[in-house]
Amino acid sequence: MKQNTFHKYTKIILSFILIASLWSCERDDICASATPTTPHLIIRFYNINERSETKTVRRMNVFEENSSKYILLDKTLDSIILPLRIDALDTTNTTRFIIERDGDYDTDEDDNTVSNIDTLEVSYTPELIYVSRACGYKSIFNNLVASRASDENNWILDVQVINNTINNEDAAHINIYH
């Protein structure tokens, strides 16, 4: 009888220990996929004659100046998403994008179009924002300024900054008129 009582109390104590150990478990530190991360620059293209009407750019190629890696290659779009480089925090950084329209990378095609290349210069001040222990930090970009380099044959006719702080990807930050 004493042995049955001993087993009974042992089972109860072990059950309490098990419940206590499960109760003290913490949630894993995993950053949820819905958590906002460092946003990209969003650019929308508009018709210079009807400034409220979007206008696609035909056969567009985009790459960062001094880089041979294309961000976008041979796409016809009315908006693009570009990454911004961070060279230093809390100081003005500049990224220059080469944007080509009517790029010809299909050697079998003879459509008599002439490509045109313009340079978009984007300046901004990156700032680190703490998100959480699991996600760490994200960058936002303040004081956004954009302009195009002038040449003899610009296809980008006007550049307008719509939002000078890039803290999300909900809407365009820059409008380009062509």
Is residue 36 assigned to a domain? no
Rounded to an integer, the average pLDDT of 6-14 is 71
Structure tokens at 71: 């961000």
CA distance 20 to 17: 5
> Can you give the pLDDT at residue 100?
96
Within 8 A by CB and 6+ apart from 34, the residues are none
Min mean pLDDT across 106-120, 122-136, 146-160 is at 106-120
Average pLDDT score over the chain: 88
First-last CA distance in the chain: 94
Is residue 8 within a helix (H) or strand (E), and if so which, with residue range?
helix 2-23
Is residue 119 assigned to a domain? yes
Confidence band (pLDDT; 50, 70, 90) for 25?
low
Which backbone phi and psi does 73 adopt, to 5 degrees?
A: -135, 120
Structural domain boundaries enclosing 145: 41-177
Number of domains in the chain: 1
Is residue 29 assigned to a domain? no
Is residue 10 assigned to a domain? no
Is residue 172 assigned to a domain? yes
Residue 107 reports pLDDT greater than 50: no
Is residue 93 assigned to a domain? yes
> Can you give the pLDDT at residue 18?
66
Cα–Cα nearest to 175, from 73, 78, 82: 78
> Can you give the pLDDT at residue 103?
78
